[in-house]
Amino acid sequence: MTADLFDGVDEVRPARETIADGAMLLRGFARPVQHDLLRAIDGIVTQSPFRHMSTPGGYQMSVAMTNCGSLGWVTDRTGYRYDAIDPDSGKPWPDMPPIFRELAGQAAAQAGYADFRPEACLVNRYEPGARLSLHQDRDEENYDAPIVSVSLGLHAIFLWGGLKRADKTARYRLEHGDVVVWGGSSRLVFHGVAPLADGEHALLGRQRINLTFRKAR
Ligand code: MD3
Ligand code: FE
């Protein structure tokens, strides 16, 4: 076989990289639908704009958030929870766009999780300097389903720790179009995002948007 037999193969079969047991990085997996995703995000944000939520500890998050789907993740002074209602609009979160469902389902299937049907999609917006400190995702009722995340816009340095907060962290650069499926023994690993470096992305400008798909119940 010659090298040129592989030319173009990456276009249809994205590179996969295993980050840890159960955690698979699909580089560029979302690129073919990038414009559809951005259009869908615009629609969501028109109904439920990005906002900086407060934590139970009284801090305002540097990451701005909104949601779509039948449940959305929210935090306020009383705690973290999934809620069917956007507390700002008083209305249900925007429907999950079909392109979101399809992308999340196909990514999960690539990583070996058939029939992933998330009802919650958290949309995180990072501007330069915004960060997410080390945490576990534990607000879901069961941890059997994976979480699928989609990175768009400026790259982020993703911090990947262990099952204890003090475990040392590895760093991964997540770029525009990268999709990660987090399941199995990776589901409860501590993780975070380092302060976003300034930059200018051709499609998104000075921001990074991350979609996080979850089965909450
Ligand atoms: C690993 N978001 O919303 S996505 C979050 O880039 C969150 O906005 C980050 O962590 C972001 O909770 C990271 C990657 C991610 C999401 C959930 C995970 C990694 C995960 C759950 C378990 C293990
Ligand atoms: Fe998280």
Protein residues with CB under 6 Å of any ligand 1 atom: 122, 124, 132, 137, 147, 149, 156, 180, 182, 186-187, 189, 191, 193, 210, 212
Distance 39 CA to ligand 2 centre (A): 24
- pLDDT tens-digit profile, the chain (217 residues): 334 444 554 445 568 899 999 999 999 999 999 999 999 999 999 999 999 999 999 999 999 999 999 999 999 999 999 999 999 999 999 999 999 999 999 999 999 999 999 999 999 999 999 999 999 999 999 899 999 999 999 999 999 999 999 999 999 999 999 999 999 999 999 999 999 999 999 999 999 999 999 999 9
| String of DSSP letters for 68-112 | EESBEEEEETTEEEEESB-TTTSSBPPPPPHHHHHHHHHHHHHTT
Helix (H) or strand (E) holding 129: none
What pLDDT score does 152 carry? 99
Q: Which CATH number fits domain 16-214: 3.40.50.11890, 1.10.3720.10, 2.60.120.590, 3.30.43.10?
A: 2.60.120.590
Would you call 27 helix, strand, or coil by DSSP? coil
Report pLDDT for 15.
82
Distance 6 CA to ligand 1 centre (A): 33
| Ligand 1 closest atom vs CA 151 | 6
**pLDDT attached to residue 26:** 96
Report pLDDT for 83.
98
N-term to C-term CA, the chain: 48
Let me know: does 144 contact 113? Beta carbons within 8 Å. Answer: no
Separation CA 206–CA 148 (nearest Å): 24
Residue ID of nearest Cα to ligand 1 atom 3: 212
pLDDT of residue 7: 52
pLDDT value, residue 14? 60
